Amino acid sequence: MPKDILNILGVEVAPGKSVTATFEVAKLHTRNTLEVPIIIERSKKPGPTVLMTAGIHGDEINGVEIIRQIIAKGINVPKTGTIICVPVINVFGF
């Protein structure tokens, strides 16, 4: 694998690509899976990697809306480097 390929949860993300990976948090008693989206945006130009997370504490919901708006407005698309967004980490608490 070339060293400029980013591998997250088995998903390979090349420079200049946008990918939404899913992280399986749990299997419910119904045998359905509970998954969290991970939005990965990479620039063609190398640079720093920024991770934005929210929803760590279930009663702190402002960060979840902020990340949602960042994604909706395309602010998470970098000119250089990589931006990774995880809107809700603690799904059960949220």
pLDDT at 4: 87
Residue count (the chain): 94
pLDDT at 3: 73
Residues of the chain with pLDDT under 50: none
pTM: 0.89
Buried b (16+ CB within 10 A) or exposed e, 44-75: eeeeeeeebbbbeeeeeeebbeebeebbeeee
Q: Where are the beta strands (DSSP E) in the chain?
A: 6-8, 11-13, 18-27, 33-42, 49-53, 82-86
pLDDT at 1: 55
pLDDT at 2: 65
CA distances from 57 to 20, 61, 67, 91 (A): 23, 8, 15, 9
Distance, CA of 25 to CA of 66 (rounded, Å): 22
pLDDT at 58: 81
